[in-house]
Amino acid sequence: MSNWPFFDTLEMKGGGDAASAARAVLQTGEFDYAWNMQVEDDILLRLEQGGKGRSNFWSTGNVEHIMCNFADPWTEVEGERSSPKTTHPLLSDPTVRHALNVLVDRSAVHEQIYGRQGQTSANFLNAPARVRSPNMRWEFNIDKANQLLDAAGWKRGSDGIRAKDGKRLKLLYQTATNAPRQKNQAIVKQAAAKAGIEIEIKSVVASVFFGSDPANPDNYPHFYADLQMLTEGPTQPDGQYFMNRFCSWEIASKANKWQGRNVTRWRNEEYDRLYQAADTEMDPVKRAAMFIRMNDLIIQNVVTIPVLWRNGVSVSTLRLRGMDLSGWESTFWRLPFWYRQP
């Protein structure tokens, strides 16, 4: 077909890590293309200086965010941790969640790690523009976090860590094993320590963390931690399916083999009503307003903490010519023959 890309052969390789995949394209030229470059932007910039390839960026609705667990990951009920029958011993206090929200230095994450690969955002739902909330703002303010916790009765102990009613403010924060994410964890941990919150860092191999095996206790749907970080984004222009991950009937549990999409175990009647109303609303303006309100409920209740609105990123050698890769990918990047899992 005229003007369509074609190749004599296709060799695909999976596994490894994103930095190695970037080097295989931009430095050694071993491969022509790699997708999903979860690599610090300064590494990409240095590799591009070799003159063998380029980085490609395109807009997405993907958001790197930190989930709060509303269930108790440390108490087992009928053979299940993070059971929807429990409440979190620390994060059930909204003050703790609001303090965490202002302890995430989004600017540092953007500037020190991601650079061209995204932008800061206070919203979970960022695209398309008609459903992006203009109401939410983010701030990084350690003093404010301390004031919130002081007022709520979380007192510092001799070691500087806060406690209340015999509960020590210590949280386990997990994510996939990946250099940018571990740096992100370190930024949050350092700020939290200044507010009297102890954070323990955990990283899980990506194939395990994102696995769907119901027997796997370390995958993110089980959420056997207090906080966890990952990127999620809509797979279609409409936000209906994307936003069902906060509906009460989607709570992940042993009963549904942890296949429910609501892994935070958050419940909110107004959110459920809005979601169901949006499912049948035909007026696009009214429907967009419903999604904006759903986003605002998530952020106001600190169900999750948006860290970065991410761009799609790939790398390609200069040998790939005859098409605008960035524009082409924005429409067709999910086609299987392009897929190179780093």
The pLDDT tens digits of the residues spanning 211-244 come to 989 999 999 999 999 999 999 999 888 999 999 9
Distance of CA 11 to the CA centre of its chain: 30
Q: Residue 1: its pLDDT value, please?
A: 61
pLDDT digits (tens, 9 = 90+) for 163-175: 999 999 999 999 9
* Residue 172 φ/ψ, nearest 5 degrees: -95, 125
Q: How far apart are CA 332 and CA 25, in angstroms?
A: 20
Token output for 334: 């999910």
Give the pLDDT score at 322: 54
- Residue 327, pLDDT > 80, answer no
Which of 321 and 71 is assigned the larger pLDDT?
71
The fraction of the chain above a pLDDT of 70, given in percent, is: 92
Joined tokens for residue 271: 């959110």
pTM of the model: 0.91
Among 169, 38, 194, 196, CA closest to 105: 194
Sign of CA dihedral 9, 336, 17, 327: positive
Tens-place pLDDT, residues 171-203: 999 999 999 999 999 999 999 999 999 999 999
Tell me which amino acid residue 80 is.
E
Q: Over 70: is that where the pLDDT of 28 sits? A: yes
Q: Which domains does the chain have, with CATH numbers?
A: 18-59+312-338 (no CATH), 63-310 (3.10.105.10)
- Single-letter amino acid, residue 309: W
Q: Which residue has the higher pLDDT, 13 or 275?
A: 275
Residue 255 is predicted with a pLDDT of 96
